[in-house]
Amino acid sequence: MDRDATLAAVPEPTTSLERGVPASAAPPGPLDVVGMGNALVDVLAEVPDRLLADLGLVRGSMELVDLRRAEAIYRAVGTAVEVSGGSAANTVAGVAALGGRAGFIGKIADDDMGRVFVSDMQASGVELHAAVAGACEGDAELAGTGRSIVMVTADAERTMATHLGVSATLGPADVADDVVARAGVVYLEGYLWDRPSAKEGMRHAIEVAHDHDRSVALSLSDSFCVERHRRDLLDLVVHDVDVLFGNEDELKSLFGARTFDDALAAAQDTGVLCAATCGPKGSVVVAGRGALEVPAAHAPVVVDKTGAGDMYASGFLYGLTHGLAPAECARLGSLCAAEVIGHLGARPRGDLAALARAEGIA
């Protein structure tokens, strides 16, 4: 890369992001949650099951692909919708939708997809701190803003093929230390652990958070990701993480457990606050005093499961930073997840704050 810059405001659609944009004159204030993750544009498409088989994709998984394969899959899915995404970015957008103060740290390119990402994030009310990558030298695979092709089948299951683009070059120099220091919780996505520079960026953010007595939350993101990095992630959970998010498969993989109950017991032994999601069965909150089952919120219709875990984390973290007990945090998380699976896409469309008030949660 030849140069990085910091982006702090919304450019006009035709404006180059290469030099960044001047920051707002408004003084910075405290933030409830700051997410750090891959800055991606989601390419959403409804597809038949047979297409996944034809493309050699594992149903329900997230696969990292190079630029050539991403373009081939994009051509194969046909009609699609593009919207800003990325796991941690989705979560902080949900926190903002609930009325929380949220920020995001990531990396984009000076291109059309980068402008889509900026516009969507700022429109959601998130304080955006995205490094803008300069022109890539000799490595076309790291060119462009990252994108995730999200293929949704008739049963609402999602399969993702992700080309990280310049988000894969996120590193310690791209972490806005002052933003991390202003956050009640710093939320990290496990997907970042696949790239050495992003791994170091995560470690740097954790160090800054600890220096300022901030909490660190981690999403395990994907069971395949956990399998690739089990030892490192387990060490991270034991020594550096305060709040852990994962589903049944991810937690069993992390702790090398044969059963979900064994995984929950292992999570309790670490001393972290663990929110374990179980799909339509709800979630289990594990703290020092044991495990508490929390039923799922009613979802009138299930269209697309993309973002369910991200929105659960939104509700849970909003509740945690606003004084709710863990069980109530889980209830709010389930309510947010139920809203997002009722439509295509990983961002809320309904009024999450109004839904929470109607349920007497927040």
Which tens digits make up the pLDDT trace of 67-121? 889 889 999 999 888 888 899 999 999 999 999 999 999 999 988 889 989 999 9
d(CA 112, CA 16): 9
Q: What band does 223 get if pLDDT is binned at 50, 70 and 90?
A: confident
**To which residue do tokens 């939104």 refer?**
314
**Is 330 inside a domain boundary?**
yes
CATH assignment of the domain containing 325 = 3.40.1190.20
- 147 found inside a domain: yes
**Over 80: is that where the pLDDT of 312 sits?**
yes
Long-range own/partner contacts, residues 252-257 (CB < 8 A, 24 or more apart): 253/223, 253/226, 253/227, 254/220, 254/226, 254/230, 256/230
Q: What percent of the chain clears pLDDT 90, i.e. is strictly above it?
A: 63
Position 157 pLDDT exceeds 80: yes
User: What single DSSP character describes residue 124?
Assistant: T
**The total number of structural domains that make up the chain:** 1
If pLDDT is split at 50, 70 and 90, which confidence band does 26 have? Answer: very low
Please choose, from the candidates 298, 351, 360, 280, the residue with its C-alpha nearest in 3D space to the C-alpha of residue 328: 360
Residue 96 lies in a domain: yes
Q: What is the structure's pLDDT at 333? A: 97
Comparing 82 with 135, which gets the higher pLDDT? 82
Residue 294 lies in a domain: yes
List 149's β-bridge partners, or say none: 43, 161
Average of per-residue pLDDT values in the chain: 88
Residue 20 domain-assigned (yes or no): no
* pLDDT mean over 182-194: 94
Specify the range with the lowest mean pLDDT, choosing from 138-142, 144-148, 332-336: 138-142
pLDDT of residue 288: 75
Phi, psi for residue 66 in degrees, rounded to 5? -80, 175
Q: What is the mean pLDDT of residues 287-312?
A: 88
pLDDT exceeding 70 applies to what percent of the chain? 90
Amino acid at 325: A
Mean pLDDT of 54-72: 88
Mean pLDDT for the stretch of residues 171-181: 95
Q: What pLDDT, on the 0 to 100 scale, is given for residue 306?
A: 77
The pLDDT-based confidence of 141 (bands split at 50, 70, 90) is: low
Give residue 335's domain range: 4-15+31-358
Tell me, yes or no, whether 21 lies in a domain.
no
Residue 23, domain member (yes or no): no
Q: What is the pLDDT of residue 308?
A: 92
Residues 6+ apart with CB under 8 A from 2: 134, 135, 137
| 326 part of a folded domain | yes
pLDDT at 346: 78
